[in-house]
Amino acid sequence: MTRDPNDRDDQTATNRRGLSRRGFLTTMGTGVLAGTAASQLSAEAGEVPEVLAADAFAKVALSINGRTHEVLVEPRWSLAYVLRDVLELTGTKVGCDRGECGACTVLMDGVPRYACLTLAVEAEGTAIVTVEGLMDGEDLGPVQQAFVEKDAYQCGYCTSGQIMAAEGLLRTTGDPDVERVRHGMSGNLCRCGAYPHIVQAVQRAAEMKRAGGAS
């Protein structure tokens, strides 16, 4: 079971007990990578790297859908975990949790990113947009509307990620042809095979945005 970052009793109890074996093992993978990268950067800059205890919490300020959220996170926590389980922004889905399906796609500084492969600490300082952030008040944004209009889903599990990938594509390409849409959406899998309708929806969303319905 994963600890609640804002539960101080849980944090204090864990610190008293020391790091569990499981916590040590699960933290090591990310910790080693982050430590290596930090060491390289610091070595280049001629600085002594700061080393966080394996079970330490870091306070990060995440800009999500135009609002800043200050949260306590473990260095190993993914952005997808923090969005869903800490901030309860459950529009972002987790499918594979290892960078294969695209269900967790969000925008970071306008670019589609897999939230399951992004550490929450890494996302600080960027503008994050989730599927909730594409709403226009109570109304759907153009990409969301186009997916409904073109019936571009069956079970709907991949749809949040598809919509965010489409939004990212349309922010750089206003009038994509079919090949460009396929290429732009190629990081997002749909087990229901709704691809033909997804392509239609992305082109319809492009039309709507050109007509002034941009989010």
Nearer to ligand FES, 62 or 194 (CB): 194
Near ligand FES by CB under 6 A: residue from 155, 174, 186, 210: 155
**Distance of alpha carbon 69 from alpha carbon 81, whole angstroms:** 14
Query: Does residue 13 interact with ligand FES by CB under 6 A?
Result: no
Query: Does residue 148 interact with ligand FES by CB under 6 A?
Result: no
Near ligand FES by CB under 6 A: residue from 101, 108, 134, 165: 101
Near ligand FES by CB under 6 A: residue from 107, 116, 131, 164: 116
> What single string gives the DSSP state of each residue in 128-161?
EE-GGGG-BTTBPPHHHHHHHHTT--SS-TTHHH
Part of the chain binding ligand FES (CB under 6 A), chosen from 95-103, 123-131, 165-173, 177-185 = 95-103
> What single string gives the DSSP state of each residue in 49-69?
PP---TT--EEEEEEETTEEE
At 105, is the secondary structure helix, strand, or coil? strand
CA dihedral in degrees (183, 184, 187, 193; nearest 10)?
-70
The residues facing 78 across adjacent strands are: 119
Query: Does residue 185 interact with ligand FES by CB under 6 A?
Result: no
Nearer to ligand FES, 18 or 193 (CB): 193
Binding site for ligand FES (CB under 6 A): 94-97, 99-104, 114, 116, 153-159, 190-192, 194
